[in-house]
Amino acid sequence: MTTPERTAPDRTTQNGSADTSFHAPAPLESVTLSGPDLGTVNMSFAGEGEAGAHAGAEAVSALSDAEKALPFDPLLNPYEAALPRPDPLAAEQFMPVLPPDHYGAFLNDLTHELTLVADPAARSLLTKRARILALNVEQYRVNHALARQTLTRVLAETGVGVRESWTRQDEHLRFMNAASSGVEHEYTRATEAIEQARQQRFDALAEYGAQPDTLSAEGFYQQQALADLAREGHPIRPPEQQTGSKRVFNGFAVFSKFFVGVISGVSINLLFNPESRLYLTIIALTAGIMFSVLLLWLVDELAYRAKMAAHAAANGTPGMGRPAAYIGGIVAVSVLYLGVEGYLNWDGILRVTQQIAANAAQQGQLTDLSTTTDTNAVPQHWSLLVFTMALVGMAVGAALLQGRERARTVLERERLLGRVAQIKQTRQYAGTARATDHVAYLEAARDRLAPPRDVTSPDHARLNERVLNHWEQERETQVQTLSATIVRDARQVQDALEDFSLQLQAAQHPQQRRGLLRFL
């Protein structure tokens, strides 16, 4: 039993042929993030050399040519997301130090100068010093490579979070901008349609002689109904204009009901409350006002029903009584009202007024004239009784006029609505009515246009900002730590090389001591 050999997976090249050669993966050298949303990741591997660089350049040039070949249409999306364009990030941007080769070359130059030192002891000491510095440079080389790899990894890891945050923000802004632009275009098209509908409405109204400022089909039908009734000789009498005298009459008609009621209440109080008690006075005034208002309202309602009953009898509408019955009710209520008010004034106000006048004339006498037998049985103050009856009659007449006017208004409106229904049934003006109402329909549709509200946009923005700040802070913290460490190492190596250079110079050119100092 043989074990099958493990082979490398086949790979397909650009020309479609299978590449069966197996290459070991090269170590990652650097990662560069570029693009408007940091979405382009360029990875370079150690050992690629000129072939990898050449292939990358060809890919970039091909991509650039493809992008240039795409047609640009500004009408597709005239709104662009308001996002800055970040530059590509590389590890070298955060390593402000010299590469190790510079320090190695400088150390080699200094090592070659050791042969120029004449003193063997000094040369031996400097040689040991040079070997230690070589170890320091090699250690710096290791630290430099490790810092570069770590920075590359940090940028790659944090770049994923930053790129996702930028992508979400870009998608959100593009969605809102596209929605707003779509609504704006729809609003513009709706406005153009409304202007066209207004022109059609004007032409349709002008064709039938209607008023150009008619805004609804119902108003247009009412105008045609009024015109038809006027041509037939039965025009609709519009409600009378509310002039100053008309308003004063209506005001006094309403006030007369309460005023006559107050008079009735005073009469009742004089008859049944001789001691003038307060609660009896309030009861008497309330009863008089209620009696007057209810009877006058009954006269108004009977007059309205009498007018409507006459019209119903002419048109054959069931459910209404005979007009003579309502007229008889008006006469009965009026007689009852006049009789009650006459009795109250005859037996109340006039008699008590006569007693008050007699008592006032005989203030010095102890005899009350109201108890004497020669007091006139017929009151002498007819003027107050006549005025009260005239006022009651005027109140009844005002209620009668108001009821008939209300009935006339209702009948005129019903006649107009009936003619409008006949015109609608003929469908002669259906096109004009549709053109008249079409403008209002389009305006209501335009008012309903609104961009789709993203209810999560505040939360989305805050969450995305927190995520972006987290990744940026994480990147800044790690980058600053690594940069500070590699800068400190480079500073130490450079200081050591400078010190070694001074020692080598002093060994090559020792100072000659003169006098007694040369023996020391």
Among the ranges 32-36, 200-204, 241-245, 412-416, which has the highest mean pLDDT value? 200-204
Q: At what angle do helices 323-344 and 278-315 cross, to 10 degrees?
A: 160
**41: part of which helix (H) or strand (E)?**
strand 40-45
Q: For residues 287 and 268, is the Cβ–Cβ distance under 8 A? A: yes
Distance of alpha carbon 309 from alpha carbon 297, whole angstroms: 18
Q: Is the dihedral of CA 413, 418, 420, 421 positive or negative?
A: positive
**Phi, psi at 275, each rounded to 5°:** -90, 0
Q: 83-108: per-residue pLDDT in tens?
A: 556 667 788 888 889 999 999 999 89
Q: 342-377: per-residue pLDDT in tens?
A: 777 766 666 666 666 666 666 655 444 455 555 454
What does the mean pLDDT of the chain come to?
Answer: 74
User: Per mean pLDDT, which range of 43-47, 226-230, 476-480, 511-515 is the poorest?
Assistant: 43-47
For residue 65, pLDDT over 50 is answered with no
Q: At what angle do helices 382-426 and 244-272 cross, to 10 degrees?
A: 130
Q: Is 123 exposed, middle or buried (0-12, 13-18, 19+ CB in 10 A)?
A: middle
- Going by the DSSP 8-state scheme, the letter that residue 519 receives in this structure is G
Q: Is 129 exposed, middle or buried (0-12, 13-18, 19+ CB in 10 A)?
A: middle
Distance of alpha carbon 391 from alpha carbon 384, whole angstroms: 11
User: What sections of 88-119 are H helices per DSSP?
Assistant: 100-112
Q: 216-236: per-residue pLDDT in tens?
A: 888 888 888 888 888 888 787
Q: Tell me what percent of the residues of the chain surpass a pLDDT of 70.
A: 68
Sequence-ordered list of residues with C-beta below 8 angstroms from that of 72, at least 6 positions apart, any chain: none
How many other CB atoms are found less than 10 A from the CB of residue 427?
9
| C-alpha of 140 from chain center | 62
For residue 318, pLDDT over 80 is answered with no
Distance of alpha carbon 463 from alpha carbon 161, whole angstroms: 13
Nearest C-alpha neighbor of 85 from the set 117, 37, 152: 37
Nearest C-alpha neighbor of 260 from the set 284, 283, 289, 301: 289
Q: Is 207 exposed, middle or buried (0-12, 13-18, 19+ CB in 10 A)?
A: exposed
Distance of alpha carbon 330 from alpha carbon 37, whole angstroms: 91
Confidence (pLDDT) at 119: 83
Q: For residues 439 and 194, is the Cβ–Cβ distance under 8 A? A: yes
In the numeric block, the tokens 């005859």 are attached to 346
**Phi, psi at 30, each rounded to 5°:** -155, 155
Q: Amino acid identity of 248?
A: V
Confidence (pLDDT) at 385: 65
Q: 181-216: per-residue pLDDT in tens?
A: 778 888 889 999 999 999 999 998 888 888 888 888
Distance of alpha carbon 215 from alpha carbon 201, whole angstroms: 9
3-state secondary structure of 9: coil
Q: 405-416: per-residue pLDDT in tens?
A: 888 888 888 888
Distance of alpha carbon 402 from alpha carbon 387, whole angstroms: 23
Distance of alpha carbon 165 from alpha carbon 195, whole angstroms: 45
Distance of alpha carbon 255 from alpha carbon 259, whole angstroms: 6
Band of pLDDT at residue 53, cut at 50, 70 and 90:
very low
